[in-house]
Amino acid sequence: MLEIRNLTKRFGTVEAVKDVSITVPDGAFLVLLGPSGCGKTTLLRMLAGLELPSEGQIIFDEQTVSDGDRDWSVDPAKRNSGLVFQSYALWPHMSVKGNVEWPLKVMKMAKEERNARVQEVLDLLDIAQLADRYPNEISGGQQQRVAIARTIAPKPGVLLFDEPLSNLDAKLRVEMRTELMRLHRATGATTVYVTHDQIEAMTMASHVAVMNQGRVQQFGAPADLVERPETAFVATFVGTPPNNMVPIVKNSTGFKVGGRHMPLTPPADDCMAMFRAENMNLAEAQGETTLPMELVETSAIAGRTMVTGLRDDLRLTAIVDSPPDARIGDTVHFQLPSQPDSWFGPDGERIA
């Protein structure tokens, strides 16, 4: 089990991580998901023991490894965890075999056992044929496999990944996602994976913590985040394409929806209505519940067409059966459903 209790990290007056509490079972695949600067890498570094929490505790398998309240932390090498860096961080003067073998030498593992374990992980990552090569003689994807092999060789109970696929091209990222999921099943290690790519999060995770401005906005299974976002941030950050968030403002004559008066009755005077892209449509002309938008993008998606429109600061996306009879820059009319999929208050919190 991995448990994080009221974890906070300050750098001077800046709170990079704010009162985070998460618990996942043994063998879980936890993804920390969020935009750049949200605090996810700082949280991972605290799990790895590279940063000491300002407040709160980190517990691995019922053993406290960091306690910010007592200003105490277990040495990174002694907390049964392994970290895969974004930059791979391979030793350039060591062969592939030497890189993988190094942490086992540090553990003072017997040579015969060490050689067997190195061969085992090289086979597991399908890089045994690269054993005698050096990092500058292999590709980026192969270097990533070597970095992972080196990390899992000591059989850590917790595996930590800091955006490990960000340096790979799109095809390799898809392949490595599959490999990492297979590796997770093979090792059974509790895994914590940092990314800003929500497709990676949704396809790999058993648990997802969506972070923004140092806080966890929502924690749960991937499907729960998509089906029932608890904040406007989660609603617009998770999902492909993201959900549409339309401001509703009350004035003397009713409610303005995206700048137009519409016969819609929200649960609060000033709030936001969420419309899923698959529930939106395009109208041939302006109507009672349409919004005129500038057509800025169309693209094919799973046999249908994703259409994106822009009007001032409002951006809307609809999934339609066929492309609109319009060119980029033309005005198209987005048809809003009679009722939104969810309501959110001015503070961004979901309204029941």
Q: Which of 208, 236, 264 is the last residue of a domain?
A: 236
pLDDT of residue 28: 96
On whether both 41 and 131 belong to a single domain, the answer is yes
Where in the sequence is the domain holding 252, given as residue range(s)? Answer: 241-351
On whether both 192 and 262 belong to a single domain, the answer is no
Q: Residue 197 CB: number of other CB atoms within 10 A?
A: 16
Instruction: Enter the tokens of residue 21.
Output: 């509490």
Contact 150, 85 (CB under 8 A): no
- pTM of the predicted protein model: 0.89
Element (H, E) at 120: helix 111-124
On whether both 250 and 283 belong to a single domain, the answer is yes
pLDDT of residue 19: 97
On whether both 247 and 230 belong to a single domain, the answer is no
On whether both 147 and 286 belong to a single domain, the answer is no
Q: Which of 236, 263, 280 is the last residue of a domain?
A: 236
Instruction: Enter the tokens of residue 181.
Output: 């999921």
pLDDT of residue 173: 85
Measuring CA to CA, how many Å separate 118 from each of 10, 100, 115, 327? 40, 6, 5, 58
What whole-number distance in Å separates Cα of residue 65 and Cα of residue 68?
10
Closest C-alpha among 279, 317, 280 to residue 297: 317
pLDDT per residue, tens digit, the chain (352 aa), is: 899 999 999 999 999 999 999 999 999 999 999 999 999 999 999 999 999 999 999 999 899 999 999 999 999 988 889 988 877 789 999 999 999 999 999 889 999 999 999 999 999 888 999 999 999 999 888 998 899 999 999 989 999 999 888 877 888 888 888 888 988 998 899 999 999 998 899 999 999 999 999 999 999 999 999 999 999 999 999 988 889 999 998 887 788 888 888 888 888 888 999 999 999 999 999 988 899 999 999 999 889 999 999 998 899 999 999 999 999 999 999 999 988 999 999 999 999 7
On whether both 246 and 217 belong to a single domain, the answer is no
Domain total of the chain: 2
Q: In what order do the strands lie in the sheet with 281-283?
A: 281-283, 331-335, 290-301, 304-311, 314-320
On whether both 229 and 298 belong to a single domain, the answer is no
pLDDT of residue 32: 97
Q: Which CATH number goes with the domain that contains 324?
A: 2.40.50.140
Which residues fall within 8 angstroms of residue 149, CB to CB, at 6 or more apart?
99, 100, 121, 122, 124, 125, 127
Q: Which of 185, 205, 236 is the last residue of a domain?
A: 236
On whether both 145 and 262 belong to a single domain, the answer is no
Instruction: Enter the tokens of residue 255.
Output: 């409610």
